Each structure stands twice: as C-alpha cells, then as structure tokens.
C-alpha cells in the first residue's frame, strides 16, 4: 500500500527544492531507503520531464569500503563519481541508516583519506548542480529522538513538508539585517562570544538544499572570533557522540576545546584534522518552528527553533571567509528559555532574546 506522504515528499523535492525541468538529468543517491519511495522519486522526476539516474547504497557496505580505504581506491572512486556528477543537472540524496553509529569504528585517518578525494565531487555538486539532501526516518532515528517509530514518522513528514515558501519574506528580512551588520555578540550560559560578519553575505535556506530546512547563514571574519562558547545540544560526528562541547577562541582560532564524558581527546583529534578545523566556517540562526528538541542528527538539529550553530571547519563559498578544511561540523546552541536562554546582538542591539526575534518583520520565524 502506497503512503501518500511519499508522493507528497517526492513532489516537493522534484518540483520545489530542485525545480526539475524537461530534459534535465537528476542523480537520485539513495542510502537504505524503501524501494517504494525510490519509485515515487523516479515517477515524480519523469512527470517533470527529467531523466533520473539511481545509485543505491548501504551503510554497511560503505563502512567496509572505508575500513580498507587506500589512496588508489578512493582516487579511482572519486574520478568516476566526478565524471558522473558532471553529467548531472540536479542531485537528490536521501540518506537512511539502520544504525546511526555504523561508521563509528572507522579510523579517523581512513575517513580523512576518503574525504580528501571525495571533496572535489562534493564541490562540483554544490557549485554546479541543483541539489537537495535529506535523511530517511528509520527506526534508528526514532530511537535517537526518544520517540516511537509511528510518532517519529509523523513528526518527520510534518517537518519536511513545512510550507517553506510562506517563511521566505521573513527569511529575506533577516538576510537584509545580517548583510548590513558588522559586529555580533552571542550571550548565554557559558557563552560570551564576539565576532564580525562585515561584508560576508547572508544566505537564505528555505527548503531548496536541505530538508528539513529553516536557517539563514553567513560566516565570521576568520580571525575575528573572541571569547567562549558552550554548546548545549548533543552532537554526533564521524559516528562518535559528543555532549557538553566547549570552545575558547583567540584571534579566530579554537585554542581550547573540551567535551563531557571523557571525549576531549576525540574532540581535539577532529580539530587537528588540518589547520582550518580550528577556525569557524559558518554562523547561522535556526528557526524551524516544528523542530524543538535535538536528536543528534544535524540536518534536523541545526534548524531547531531558537537556535544558532557555529561551525568549525570549511566555509561555504557563497558566504566565504576563506577557511578551508576537511571538517564541517555544525554544533548547536539552543537559546530558548527551557535551554537556559540567551541573546543574539547585532551592532549593539538585541535582535533575538531567549530564542525569539524581536522585530515585527522577523516574527514569522518564531515558534
């Protein structure tokens, strides 16, 4: 029996997010997703006159490839994937995982080796194609969120099928505000941070690239970050769970990094991946009204209502501060009162307090 939500989501991805057109080629990159949803994506792409190409993946097979990763292996893989990507006009990735920690025992050096080659494929996809990436709601995600499978699926489709278009006027107002802002201060429990975003553009994310969506991002001037930042949302990176991450900054660089639960060593290993991993590549304000609690899935957590994320590593070229790294780790702080509150201050003026925007033009971004 076909779930009508599958059709609705497939239609949103092909008609709104990637806006497929007649004669375009689209790569459907599917990781452990139901065959029935893959079929809906193929049908919706064809309804718009596009030509779908499908790649099917398994997290377990990906893990095995990574465990034995070699330079020649990933050089060859990246070469062929890049050639394939060059033939695509659009890219839709749906990534499921029966076990969210499937790659947790892959050595960091193997992950870094693979990413050093795959970066060129990702860069081409981001710069040269229309693209959209989302998770698939496996029971493992429901467990991660502390929800029943049925309740999580209902939440998932409610979040992913949000009317993003209706939020665009307020998102554009926030973009205009960020574009004219020079100095930013973030305050809250364990956090007192200052930096500049002068002359770095703000980018609206309204359901075109990530689903779920709901953020406006920019980047700090690379050497401008000063102070201390305590993240209060749990995270998972390279299959390793992290809690209580705290950074101290001087001249833009993370000079001290700690994590709860004895994970400080693993945290610093990630930050020592390359020189750019200790600098920040992204600053974003999140405001999806349907996402309230973290679940260690960054595509959801970075859009939590009343949150911001401050990201060690690679900057996006659309909002570029020049930082380059294999790492791009969206760590999240939630500023709603139930998480301790906090303020976002632009050029000395509080623009968001305890997770709620104060200006009338931004009110639709409040939960």
**Is the predicted pLDDT of residue 320 greater than 70, yes or no?**
yes
Instruction: Tell me the percentage of the chain whose pLDDT exceeds 90.
Output: 89
Q: Which of 127, 160, 193 is the last residue of a domain?
A: 160
Are 349 and 258 found together in one domain? yes
CA distance 166 to 176: 17
Q: Tell me the average pLDDT across 311-321.
A: 96
CATH of the domain at 148: 3.40.1830.10
In this structure, the answer to whether residues 334 and 229 fall within a common structural domain is: yes
13 has a pLDDT exceeding 80: yes
First to last CA, the chain: 35
Residue range 198-223: mean pLDDT, rounded = 96
What pLDDT does 299 receive? 86
What pLDDT, in 10s, does the model give residues 72-85?
999 999 999 999 99
Domain C-terminal end among 160, 182, 212: 160
Considering the domain architecture, whether residues 150 and 185 belong to the same structural domain is answered as no
Q: b/e map of 143-171 (b: 16 or more CB within 10 Å)?
A: ebbebeeeebbebbbebbbbebeebeebb
Output the pLDDT for position 97: 85
Same domain assignment for residues 49 and 146: yes
Q: Per residue in 207-231, is it b (16+ CB within 10 Å) or e — as a string? A: bbbbbbbbbbbbbbbbbbbebebbb
Closest CA to 164 of 116, 199, 104, 206: 206
The verdict on 230 and 292 lying in the same domain is yes
Is the torsion defined by CA of 64, 68, 70, 72 positive or negative? negative
> In this predicted structure, what is the pLDDT of residue 18?
97
Partners of 92 in the beta sheet?
28, 132
* Span 99-108, pLDDT tens digits: 888 888 999 8
Residue that finishes a domain, picked among 160, 189, 216: 160
Concatenated DSSP letters of 244-280: S-EEEEETTEEEEEE-TTTTHHHHHHHHTSSGGGGSE
Q: Are residues 190 and 234 in the same domain?
A: yes
**Eight-state DSSP code of residue 199:** T
pLDDT at 1 over 80: no
Dihedral over alpha carbons 123, 120, 128, 270 (to 10 degrees)? -10
Distance between CA 212 and CA 288 in Å, rounded? 8
In a shared domain, residues 170 and 144: no
Asked if 103 and 18 sit in the same domain, the reply is yes
Domain count, the chain: 2
pLDDT at 219 over 90: yes
At residue 68 the predicted structure's pLDDT band, cuts being 50, 70 and 90, is very high
| Alpha-carbon span 314 to 3, nearest angstrom | 38
| pLDDT single digits (tens) 220-273 | 999 999 999 999 999 999 878 999 999 999 999 999 999 999 999 999 999 999
**Residues 180, 308: one domain?**
yes
**pLDDT over threshold 80, residue 32:** yes
What value, to the nearest 5°, has the Cα angle with vertex 364 and ends 171 and 93? Answer: 50
**pLDDT tens column, 47-67:** 999 999 999 999 899 999 999
| Boundaries of domain holding 330 | 164-365
Is residue 207 domain-shared with residue 345, that is, in the same domain? Answer: yes
Residues 135-153 have a mean pLDDT of: 91
Residues 178 and 201 in one domain: yes
| Mean pLDDT value across the chain | 95
3-state secondary structure of 298: helix
Is there a single domain that holds both residue 357 and residue 314?
yes
């Amino acid at each position: 029996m076909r779930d009508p939500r599958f059709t609705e989501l497939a239609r949103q991805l092909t008609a709104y997010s990637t806006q497929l057109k007649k004669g375009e080629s689209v790569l459907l990159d599917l990781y452990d997703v139901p065959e029935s949803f893959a079929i809906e994506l193929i049908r919706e792409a064809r309804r718009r006159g596009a030509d779908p190409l499908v790649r099917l993946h398994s997290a377990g097979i990906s893990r095995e490839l990574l465990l034995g990763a070699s330079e020649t292996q990933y050089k060859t893989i990246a070469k062929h994937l890049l050639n394939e990507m060059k033939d695509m006009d659009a890219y839709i990735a749906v990534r499921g995982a029966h076990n969210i920690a499937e790659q947790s025992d892959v050595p960091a050096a193997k992950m870094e080796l693979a990413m050093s080659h795959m970066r060129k494929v990702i860069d081409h996809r981001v710069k040269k194609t229309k693209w959209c990436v989302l998770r698939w709601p496996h029971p493992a995600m429901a467990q991660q969120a502390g929800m029943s499978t049925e309740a999580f699926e209902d939440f998932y489709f409610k979040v992913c099928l949000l009317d993003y278009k209706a939020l665009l006027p307020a998102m554009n107002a926030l973009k205009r505000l960020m574009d004219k802002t020079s100095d930013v201060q973030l305050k809250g429990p364990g956090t007192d941070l200052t930096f500049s975003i002068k002359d770095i553009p703000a980018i609206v994310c309204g359901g075109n690239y990530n689903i779920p969506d709901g953020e406006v991002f920019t980047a700090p001037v690379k050497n401008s970050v000063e102070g201390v930042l305590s993240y209060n949302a749990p995270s998972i990176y390279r299959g390793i769970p992290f809690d209580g991450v705290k950074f101290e900054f001087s001249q833009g660089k993370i000079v001290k990094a700690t994590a709860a639960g004895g994970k400080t060593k693993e945290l610093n290993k990630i930050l020592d991946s390359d020189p750019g991993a200790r600098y920040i590549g992204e600053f974003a304000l999140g405001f999806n009204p349907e996402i309230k609690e973290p679940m260690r899935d960054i595509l959801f957590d970075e859009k939590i209502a009343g949150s911001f994320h401050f990201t060690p590593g690679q900057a996006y070229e659309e909002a570029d501060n020049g930082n380059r790294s294999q790492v791009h780790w969206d760590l999240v702080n939630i500023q709603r009162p139930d998480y301790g509150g906090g303020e976002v201050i632009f050029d000395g003026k509080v623009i968001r307090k305890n997770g709620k925007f104060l200006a009338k033009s931004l009110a639709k971004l409040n939960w």
